[in-house]
């Protein structure tokens, strides 16, 4: 079975993820196939737009091939680095693509699924959307451009999402600008057919299909998020949460207690620097250096063991506390790679 289906429908390139048993999690071959299809479509004057969705199953894209990355990371890391290199080239290609792209974030949209939907000009959420960057729970960080996208959300919401892995629904995605449109899932086939028939009218088609979204629950905690997650220093965030008498703060503190301290510190640093990045390629270059290193560090390999392989949900982080993760360690993780190893666009 082909993991990516690429077809031309009228003047539209259709890219459909087709790995349903893995909720369409991306592997290296899928990223290569998408890059090749995008390159061909960009050169073809007959193609006016691109649609990205999934062929079947309960989610758009659950992330990347985490098990493979961890197995590689436990060895020489070469396959993990190759995956990140190609995946980030795909993220960048989508971000800089000349023709309009519509991504349909129906169902689970996490990790790598965020990376192939957020660069699209049009991002369609539904009542089924479950959007998250849960990487700190496996010792990783919100990559695929997370340092760019999350750092540009209102207030400290991006930092909150990066640290906790909070799952947003479709209405929340719309309210935060992570989605451009909110439509009923039952309307998707009709919308896709209309865009394929008249791609030059894609904006009007999506606007006409827009439904009234429910209230965005996350905004009811906006004041608390901005206050309690105000610092770029993890210890300050934990202190603020511990000092707050409310149930919501206690729940967030408990959540952070399950995450990798190293990964949380990396995530805060990533967003702090990502907010100042002037070019998306610079963001991806930095994320690649960080990913290449974290893939071979203890917390990622242990996180995958605990949550994905053995499923005991009891990762043994090392260091086990935020205080144990030194500034020098974070500096080393973020250091630029030598020129011959550094990430470059496709």
Q: What is the 8-class DSSP label of residue 137?
A: G
**Whether 75 is catalytic:** no
- CB neighbours of 117 closer than 8 A, spacing ≥ 6? 52, 60, 61, 103, 105, 109, 123
Active-site residue (options: 73, 111, 112, 303): 112
Distances (CA, A) of 144 to 88, 89, 134: 6, 10, 13
Active-site residue (options: 59, 64, 146, 147): 64
Distances (CA, A) of 248 to 90, 124, 235, 240: 38, 30, 18, 12
**Whether 29 is catalytic:** no
Q: What is the DSSP string of 9-64?
A: ETTEEEEEE--GGGTT-B-HHHHHHHHHHHHHHHH-TT--EEEEEESSSSEEE--B
Active-site residue (options: 48, 53, 65, 135): 135
**Whether 64 is catalytic:** yes
CA–CA distance, 57 with 22 (Å, rounded to integer): 9
Token pair belonging to 50: 């691109």
Residues 96, 280: contact at Cβ < 8 Å? yes
| CB environment 227-240: b (16+ within 10 A), e (fewer) | ebbeebebeebbeb
CA–CA distance, 328 with 249 (Å, rounded to integer): 30
**Phi, psi of 105, deg, nearest 5:** -90, 60
Active-site residue (options: 87, 143, 169, 299): 143
Burial label for 242, CB within 10 Å (0-12, 13-18, 19+), is exposed
**Whether 112 is catalytic:** yes
CA–CA distance, 262 with 330 (Å, rounded to integer): 8
> H-type helices in 76-185, by residue range?
78-95, 112-117, 146-149, 157-164, 170-176
- Catalytic residues, by residue number, are 64, 112, 135, 143
């Amino acid at each position: 079975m082909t993991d990516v289906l690429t077809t031309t429908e009228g003047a539209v390139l259709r890219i459909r993820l087709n790995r349903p048993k893995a909720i369409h999690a991306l592997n290296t071959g899928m990223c290569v196939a998408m890059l090749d299809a995008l390159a061909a479509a960009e050169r073809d004057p007959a193609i006016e737009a691109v649609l990205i969705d999934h062929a079947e199953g309960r989610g758009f894209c659950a992330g990347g091939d985490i098990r493979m990355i961890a197995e590689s990371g436990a060895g020489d890391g070469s396959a993990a680095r190759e995956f990140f290199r190609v995946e980030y080239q795909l993220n960048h290609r989508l971000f800089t693509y000349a023709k309009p792209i519509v991504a349909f974030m129906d169902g689970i949209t996490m990790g790598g699924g965020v990376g192939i939907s957020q660069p699209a000009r049009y991002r369609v959420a539904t009542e089924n959307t479950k959007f998250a960057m849960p990487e700190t729970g496996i010792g990783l960080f919100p990559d695929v451009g997370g340092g760019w996208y999350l750092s540009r959300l209102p207030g400290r919401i991006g930092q909150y999402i990066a640290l906790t892995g909070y799952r947003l629904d479709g209405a929340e995605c719309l309210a935060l600008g992570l989605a451009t449109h909110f439509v009923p899932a039952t309307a998707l086939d009709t919308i896709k057919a209309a865009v394929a028939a008249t791609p030059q009218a894609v904006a009007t088609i999506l606007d006409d299909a827009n439904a009234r979204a429910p209230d965005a629950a996350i905004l009811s905690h906006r004041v608390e998020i901005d206050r309690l997650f105000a610092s770029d220093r993890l210890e300050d965030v934990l202190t603020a949460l511990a000092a707050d008498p409310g149930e919501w703060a206690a729940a967030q503190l408990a959540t952070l207690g399950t995450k990798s301290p190293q990964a949380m510190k990396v995530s805060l640093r990533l967003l702090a620097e990502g907010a100042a990045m002037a070019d998306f390629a610079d963001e991806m270059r930095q994320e690649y250096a960080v990913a290449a290193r974290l893939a071979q560090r203890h917390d990622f390999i242990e996180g995958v063991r605990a949550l994905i392989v053995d499923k005991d949900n009891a990762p043994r982080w090392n260091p086990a506390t935020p205080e144990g993760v030194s500034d020098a360690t974070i500096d080393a993780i973020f250091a630029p790679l030598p020129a011959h190893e550094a990430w470059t666009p496709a």
